[in-house]
Structure 1
Amino acid sequence: MSVSFDKSETRVNLMRAFAGESQARNRYTFAAGLAKKKNLQVIQGVFTFTASQEEQHAKVYYNLLEKLSGQTIGIDGTYPVDIFPDILQHLRAAQHNEYQEWDHDYRHFAEVAKGEGFEEISHTFSSIADIEKTHGDRFGRFADLLEQGKLFVSDVECKWMCLNCGQIIDATMAPAMCPVCKHPQGFFVRWEMAPFE
């Protein structure tokens, strides 16, 4: 069934997605600030890295609304309030929210867009849904390590990279301080989890 874009549910879903991505970006930026205060710069980096990607998702959704420039789209929606005192709660909430977008929201939006005859928009929703799963997996992996007390400790020797200077250390534990740039342990990440190997 082909529907006029300016009367479609797809345009409303695009605005919902834009609002959700915009809010996620801000929530992650706020969580990054808390991580920095707690000297967990690696977690700060995870939140900042993901916030940047959420900004790009928002931009993609917003640009798909260009035909309606100058108009106002009313939406309803529910959005989480994730204000927690500790980083683990932020990681778990982010994991949950990303999986919600992946498995429920964007899959549904993709089906609606396809049903209304907007194949490209349907594909965009599906593609970004897959990215959100990756985000959820990432937040979950860091949450697991933090919860298990293994964020800076490994059962076997592995490579650790300082996110500040790039120094790589082979050890079962990230050093308390980088021997090169003197930044604290909070800057270290397992090599295989570094954003750029």
Structure 2
Amino acid sequence: MSERTYEMLWDCQYCGTNKLLGKTHRFCPNCGAAQDPRSRYYPSEEDKVAVEDHHFVGVDVTCSVCNTLNSADSHFCQNCGAALDESGVAVTKLASQTANVMGEFEEMGSRDVVKEEFDAEMQRVGAAPRTTGLPQQAMDWRVIAFIVAAIVICGGIAFYMLRTEAQTVVVTGHSWERIVTVEEYVSFTTRSWRDSPPAGYNIDLRAGS
């Protein structure tokens, strides 16, 4: 009679579910947490569960990326997905791929789950969520950019209109005229009543004069 193979057991440290099957339950069926290979233990006689059609391939190998134990015939880590070579050591990923992933994560930014849940609750009860002020900041930047552009354009026009430069010219001819204004004295004749002589005349109206 051939020796039978039994599944090891493990306990979920997140929801407290006990005696999960090491081969069948790679993830906790209650909370979905990944199996921690370090938490595996041998079952007691009454807890033994035979592995059907088990094929022994050797000692489990450890992923050098996340330190997760994997079957010896695994080509990829069951936890992080890193590729495994023939000796069981994880193949190093390209640095450019890692940099791209990190760059995309930084661009997306971390999600504020609490705020998202709060905004969803406010929308459910009919209250508008509080804005973060980003649109106002963007508008302020647009106004500042417009003012700076206007100053640059006005400065360029003023420089073009008021700029001076040296020029060489040749005089081919010239002419001029002079105007002089001269006062002219002429006789002035006027008439008036005898008792109202013209101004500027010294007239003696006495008899015998």
Common fold: TM-score over 0.5 = no
Give the number of the structure whose residues are more often strand, by fraction: 1
TM-score, length-normalised on structure 2?
A: 0.20
Higher normalized helix content (fraction of residues): 1
The structure with more radius of gyration: 2
